[in-house]
């Protein structure tokens, strides 16, 4: 099984550019989420989705958009990148009810904004 797949693994952007981080899972998980990991701050929730067509904001949503048109995919869009968005981004998925909090993570996408 592929599990949770994130692309790209590395990306360098200039301030003001836009891009989309892709996330796909093949486990038929209803719940998907995006976190960012910064040194000394652990992981912080950006956006999450409990199913296709349903998304909501997490702790640090500003500057990011998401959509969930299918169960498998949950892309994260940066509309106008800023240096403060330099981070490692993780996508995670899980079964919605059966095992609360048991998240399956992707390998991460390292983003640098110059």
- The answer to whether the beta carbons of residues 66 and 77 sit under 8 Å apart is yes
- Identity of the residue, 81 or 89, whose beta carbon is nearer to other proteins in the bound complex: 89
The least distance separating other proteins from the CB of residue 42, rounded to whole angstroms, comes to: 4
The least distance separating other proteins from the CB of residue 15, rounded to whole angstroms, comes to: 26
- Identity of the residue, 3 or 17, whose beta carbon is nearer to other proteins in the bound complex: 3
The least distance separating other proteins from the CB of residue 14, rounded to whole angstroms, comes to: 25
- Identity of the residue, 14 or 39, whose beta carbon is nearer to other proteins in the bound complex: 39
Length of the chain: 114
Q: Which residues pair with 93 in a beta bridge?
A: 32, 104
Do strands 76-78 and 104-105 pair parallel, antiparallel, or not at all (unpaired)? Answer: unpaired
- Identity of the residue, 14 or 101, whose beta carbon is nearer to other proteins in the bound complex: 101
- Could you tell me the two tokens for 113? 């904004």
One-character DSSP codes across 1-43: ---EEEE-SEEEE-TT--EEEEEEESS--SEEEEEEEETTTEE
Radius of gyration of the chain (CA): 13
Binding residues (CB under 8 A) for other proteins: these are 30-31, 33, 35, 40-45, 48, 50-51, 56, 58-59, 88, 90, 92, 94, 96-97, 99-108
The least distance separating other proteins from the CB of residue 40, rounded to whole angstroms, comes to: 6
């Amino acid at each position: 099984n592929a599990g949770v797949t994130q692309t790209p693994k590395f990306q360098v952007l200039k301030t003001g550019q836009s891009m989309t981080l892709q996330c796909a899972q093949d486990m038929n998980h209803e719940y998907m989420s995006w976190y960012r990991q910064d040194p000394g701050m652990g992981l912080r929730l950006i956006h999450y989705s409990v199913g296709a067509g349903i998304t909501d904001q997490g702790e640090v949503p500003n500057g990011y958009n998401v959509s969930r048109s299918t169960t498998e995919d949950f892309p994260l869009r940066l509309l106008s990148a800023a240096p403060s968005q330099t981070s490692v981004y993780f996508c995670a998925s899980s079964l919605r009810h059966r095992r609360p909090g048991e998240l399956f993570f992707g390998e991460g996408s390292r983003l640098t904004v110059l």
